[in-house]
Structure 1
């Protein structure tokens, strides 16, 4: 099910309903940067939460603010980097893995889709060093996820590996 948004365009972007997103933007282009009243997500952030590349690309072409922040101070790049496989993705991978490596290719495809989403946002000018309310950047989340494909992309885009977040580690950890 996921998140319920108060703004219809945000809900449409989250649910990958391109026709509905297009309809709202056609009505008024200002909808591309509208923020949901509950958590401050923009349609671009909503689409990035779920990895909807077509909607992200469309919103960026309509000049969506790639550096807009929600109430947690996160940008769309924070969510694009944190995008994980869905339960259905995992299930299909596990079931199809023994069948001619179809599961493996599905996993590679999903990972590549996430990589393309991050590349698209970086090309659009996403602030690679934007910090959220926990002091984390996209690089922090990519490292936390052990994403070996995304980390080099962020570093190539000048992500600062020296930025510290607000997490305090105990002695010896």
Structure 2
């Protein structure tokens, strides 16, 4: 289902791309979808990653324990898989059924780490570039994606995710937000009592990262919080 949707989207886009770029892009997308499927050994995790709410609902209905099942490949839960891709409906469904927001995968990351680390996908960038000249549709798409990611982080914080959880590198969600210069998410994390003085395994705090990357506005926010 997911692969078919990607193929249809790429087929439409290829009509606007020169030199057969759309054909090559479609082939790359099919390979990426196949690779993603191999990385999710648990069917419910694969369904969550691919935004298949019907399949996620079916697995949870069959056995409530699937809600927090961890994939054998990397330890991802369905919630982490959904947060990796920013699938809001899947995340909302899982949270309503009390999915554990603080379970960690093999990299010791929670769903919050991935929600904060989430970037625009290649297809997002492609759509933004193609639609930017058309009544600023690309700009509004970019704003919409940013707001969606903000809403995702709010949902996780409201569900009680540990804002200062550290991963295998000693990084919190705030470390990653600073690395990505994400001025919309940093205030949310600070409001939830994110600690800007936690050091990662390189000895860097979130404030150190802001200073190193020369982000004065973010540095000011972090100084006020600390």
Identify the TM-score tier after normalising by the shorter chain: over 0.9
Equivalent position of 2:81 in the other structure = 46
Counterpart-to-counterpart distance in 2, 1:66 and 1:49? 13
| Pair 1:147-2:149 in alignment | no
Counterpart-to-counterpart distance in 2, 1:88 and 1:37? 28
| Pair 1:76-2:108 in alignment | no
Equivalent position of 2:135 in the other structure = 100
Q: What is the CA RMSD across the aligned residues, in angstroms?
A: 1.1
Counterpart-to-counterpart distance in 2, 1:5 and 1:102? 34
| Pair 1:126-2:140 in alignment | no
Counterpart-to-counterpart distance in 1, 2:203 and 2:56? 41
Which segment is superposed worse, 113-122 or 95-104? Answer: 95-104
1:1-173 correspondence to structure 2 within 5 Å? 1=33, 3=36, 4-167=39-202
SS in 1 for 2:60: helix
TM-score, structure 1 normalization:
0.95
TM-score, structure 2 normalization:
0.73
Task: Compute the displacement of 1:168 (Å).
Answer: 5.3
- The list of structure 1 runs, each at least 4 consecutive aligned residues, that deviate by more than 6 angstroms after superposition, is none
Listed as ranges, the gaps of 5+ residues in structure 1 are none
Counterpart-to-counterpart distance in 1, 2:127 and 2:82? 22
Counterpart-to-counterpart distance in 2, 1:16 and 1:167? 36
SS in 2 for 1:79: helix
SS in 2 for 1:19: helix
Counterpart-to-counterpart distance in 2, 1:91 and 1:168? 37
- Higher RCO (Cα < 8 Å, 6 or more apart): 1
Across the two proteins, how many residue pairs are aligned to each other? 170
Distance 1:31 1:83, change over 3 A: same
Counterpart-to-counterpart distance in 2, 1:168 and 1:63? 35
Determine which structure has more spread, i.e. the larger CA radius of gyration. Answer: 2
